[in-house]
Structure 1
Amino acid sequence: MMEERTASFGIGQVIHHRLFNYRGVIFDVDPDFKGTEEWFQKNVEAGSPTKEEPWYHVLIDQDGRVAYVAERNLEAEETVEPVEHPLLENFFTGFAGDHYQARQTLN
């Protein structure tokens, strides 16, 4: 029987990366690592995140890049300010107080 995982962060939540000190907003969540083995070996150091924890797709604030981040490297962002990213409108309809409102999806 597979262990059920619960993500600690949700879509539209503004987060802070513990190691790389950037803010961002989550636009998708994977219950476990969904990237390639090659990417994992290239980007994850030994003793770092595992493939078995939730992984998040993040729009990096004031950067224009997208990150794929393991849960253990994230924490809730204390600053309740909007994120600036050119792809925000692709995923969200607006900022509502402390989080983004996700666009409707078909799946």
Structure 2
Amino acid sequence: MTDARPTETRLRIAKFGIGAVVRHRIYPFRGIVFDVDPVFDNTEDWWLAIPEEARPRKDQPFYHLLAENAETEYVAYVSEQNLVPDTSGESLRHAGIPEMFERDPGGTYRMRDRTAN
């Protein structure tokens, strides 16, 4: 006899919101959150390319970041378990930020209003 109950998925509330400045807990990069997936939503090939010992769980929020390290700027997709708040107060230099965000006098990044004129 098989269990006919639907598989239960537990969604967690994302720890970081849009505009949060975060850094990776292991690798030397930081970035700004521009989108959040409540659970893993990338390709299986992407997930399997991560070494098994470092592979994150899929049942957690994943963040799209405008990311940067000392050498370059890029877009990153990172699990919540691998992010911590960036409390440095340093501005981010990513070229995509001015298009998506504005920074208030207190240093907080907010999404730009994208309504049509």
Task: Give the TM-score category using the shorter length.
Answer: 0.7 to 0.9
Structure 1 contact 24–83 (Cα < 8 Å) conserved? yes
Unmatched tracts of structure 2, length 5 or more: 1-7
The one of the two structures with greater contact order (alpha-carbon pairs below 8 A, sep at least 6) is: 1
Higher Rg: 2
* Selected match of 2:91 from 82, 85, 94: 82
Unmatched tracts of structure 1, length 5 or more: none
Name the count of aligned residue pairs. 106
d(CA) in 1 for partners of 2:96, 2:54: 32
State the TM-score, normalized to the length of structure 2: 0.78
Summarize deviations over 1:56-84 as a string: whole Å, max 9, x none.
01111352211100000000112112111
Query: What is the DSSP-based 3-state SS (H/G/I as helix, E as strand, rest coil) of the residue aligned with 1:69?
Result: strand
d(CA) in 2 for partners of 1:58, 1:87: 10
Q: Tell me which stretches of 4 or more aligned residues in structure 1 moved more than 3 Å.
A: none
What's the C-alpha RMSD, in Å, of the aligned pairs? Answer: 2.0
Identity %: 38
